[in-house]
Amino acid sequence: MERFYRRDFINTLSGVRNAHLLGTLSYKKVPNLGLFNSVTHIGATPPHLGFIMRPLTVPRQTYHNIKAQGHFTLNQVTLGTYQQAHQASAKYEVDEPEFEAVGLTPYFSETHRAPYVAESPIQIGLELAEEHHIKANGALFIVGKVVEIRLQSHLIADDGHIRMDAAQAVGVAGLDHYYRPEPIAQLPYPRPGQEDKILKPKNN
């Protein structure tokens, strides 16, 4: 395949992924921002999240900031911020304040040293827990321990689920195609013997 055709084909093969703005602080105290679509759940007790960092073949501001400060934030991209989030993927200079460049607002809580995106309705503060080298391509898998969560109470359903639709969350496929997820159903916990509650009748 042609290089860029292959890139887009493989990048969209796994489907729509979550979209987060990752906030860090440089050693010079400059707020840094980057768009990541590889955030994944690691565990709930204790809560950990992870994400993929591309190989360190060139300087990676996000990685070096996390290593220097030990903290970072994940901020849900929404219908109102996806354009700014997309622009945050641009290669800005180390000392250039990316929040200001893309039109977003850094927010610092009293208990977390990395900047949140004030416009994001779901803000997660993490501290670096582990990093793992992926031998297949040189990428890194970064694991963070969740130490702070900031979100409005109306986004939490009675059963504890976070209502991504109410947050107007946005996902991304590949590098530049954005999607808005919509709920289609909430199914019961799967157990043997309750197939009639979950499986739809087959059409003849």
Residue spans per domain, the chain? 16-198
CATH class as words, domain 16-198: mainly beta
Question: 202 falls in which pLDDT band (50, 70, 90)?
Answer: low
Question: 199 falls in which pLDDT band (50, 70, 90)?
Answer: confident
Q: Which of 24, 44, 45 lies closest to 34, judged by CA?
A: 24
The neighbouring-strand residues paired with 20 are 36, 76
Q: Please give the average per-residue pLDDT across 107-125, as a whole number.
A: 96
Q: Which of 141, 122, 113 lies closest to 52, judged by CA?
A: 141
Q: Say how far apart CA 168 and CA 112 lie, in whole Å.
A: 25
Residue with tokens 């395949």: 1
Report the mean per-residue pLDDT for the chain. Answer: 92
pLDDT over threshold 50, residue 154? yes
What burial letters (b/e) apply to 69-98, b meaning 16+ CB within 10 Å?
A: bebbbbbbbbeebbebbbbbeeebeeeeeb
pLDDT tens, position by position, 38-76: 999 999 999 999 999 998 787 788 999 999 999 999 999
The pTM assigned to this predicted structure is 0.91
User: What is the model's pLDDT at position 184?
Assistant: 87
User: What is the model's pLDDT at position 204?
Assistant: 46
Q: Say how far apart CA 173 and CA 16 lie, in whole Å.
A: 5
pLDDT over threshold 60, residue 3? yes
Burial of 104 (0-12, 13-18, 19+ CB in 10 A): buried
pLDDT > 90 fraction of the chain, expressed in percent and rounded: 70
Q: Please give the average per-residue pLDDT across 162-166, as a whole number.
A: 94
